[in-house]
Structure 1
């Protein structure tokens, strides 16, 4: 289970085709600019997610995102795990074993999605899918391969921010552990309080000996 979480934090799915707006041929530079525009325009997003690891195990839950840098993965009932980004760090909380692990936002491929100030052209590239209605971008830092890669998959949709809807992504860590995330029921622009990105620390409080 923990490997599943770390693959998400440290890391190509192509969605099925359905009717969307007619696609217009664009250059990779224009596609990257469109993705950057999407990231800047999405001030907040909530969605349902399903997450599948390389063994085919699937978990579901709710995603909450607020720019800049805040994200929360609330897993289905019975899964004692939580992932929260508070704008500075990405934290994995395992309530079953009372462990907490933290990484700077910039050290996770998810930073490509929740940091509007990052220049996507410096670490992202368009991956051709053969479907003009699907835009796929792979992001990684070639100087820090241990951070893994994330492949963002978008559907072109006229009514969505910047004409794109985030279908999901695939995260792959340095050990090639692969985790795919699919989003549904997107809801944009909700007023999300910062308290949504707080979490309860399960670690026991150490008390001084007498």
Structure 2
């Protein structure tokens, strides 16, 4: 098996850019909210979250080439403002941590760490929905939000960057209602190169108590630390 390539690391950064797209399910008596209303409520209510995830990255089809897919899985945690963590366990061990200032990517096989300022890497991306405080209105200068029709038992909303120059073309988010509250079910990301990253979440928890150590990252002994 070939060692993970640079394209795989770029796929992880795309996840970082979009990892913040969290929505909330809520319904008033006798009336059901659409995706955009749920997003507004989520920004106000969700302070933290955790889940298991499976990610399938599909490369765009080209003439004479077979469509390629890569599947990975692990756990995800976030806390407002400015913190999240992806722990990839299969097929390779990698860790992606945003601590509020720096975005860290650790490749265990290479024992290599890449560190980038969050403000430069995330910027005007859907990750702002995770790393910002609770003001959805302020995000509308960077994104166009629109509710989508219900399908597959989920409610959907589309987030489209206002600027056409970014790496993300569109993001579709699907949610399901649960007795304990809202659950993020699907995050479907399409980038400007035609690559699709489909994340499916399970065992989702809203507002768990997460220890501070969750979002602390220290480069392992002997690791090569790169700061582009």
SS of equivalent residue, structure 1 residue 2? helix
**Contact 2:36/2:147 (<8 A) preserved:** no
Per the alignment, do residues 22 and 124 of structure 1 end up closer, same or farther by CA in structure 2, a change over 3 Å counting? Answer: farther
> Which protein is richer in strand relative to its size?
2
1:117 to 135, 138, 143: 135
Rounded Cα–Cα distance in structure 2 between residues aligned with 1:142 and 1:121: 8
Poorly superposed stretches of 4+, deviation over 6 Å: none
Rounded Cα–Cα distance in structure 2 between residues aligned with 1:108 and 1:57: 23
**Contact 2:35/2:156 (<8 A) preserved:** no
Rounded Cα–Cα distance in structure 1 between residues aligned with 2:190 and 2:205: 27
**Contact 1:9/1:108 (<8 A) preserved:** no
> Which ranges in structure 1 are unaligned for 5 or more consecutive residues?
12-20
Q: RMSD of aligned C-alpha atoms?
A: 3.1
SS of equivalent residue, structure 1 residue 176? coil
Q: List per-residue Cα deviations over 1:13-44 (Å, max 9, x = no partner).
A: xxxxxxxx998465xxx642321212321222
* TM-score w.r.t. length of structure 1: 0.74
Deviation, 1:78, is 6.0
Which residue in the other structure is 1:6 paired with? 13
**Contact 1:47/1:62 (<8 A) preserved:** yes
**Contact 1:51/1:59 (<8 A) preserved:** yes
Question: Could you say which structure has the greater relative contact order, defined with CA pairs below 8 angstroms and 6 or more residues apart?
Answer: 1
- After TM superposition, the structure 1 = structure 2 runs for residues 1-210 of structure 1, keeping only pairs within 5 Å, are 1-10=8-17, 24=31, 26=33, 31-54=35-58, 55-76=68-89, 79-97=92-110, 98-102=112-116, 103-104=118-119, 105-115=122-132, 116-119=134-137, 120-122=139-141, 123-131=143-151, 134-143=154-163, 145-148=165-168, 149-157=170-178, 159-160=180-181, 164-201=182-219, 203-204=223-224
Rounded Cα–Cα distance in structure 2 between residues aligned with 1:56 and 1:23: 42
SS of equivalent residue, structure 2 residue 209? coil
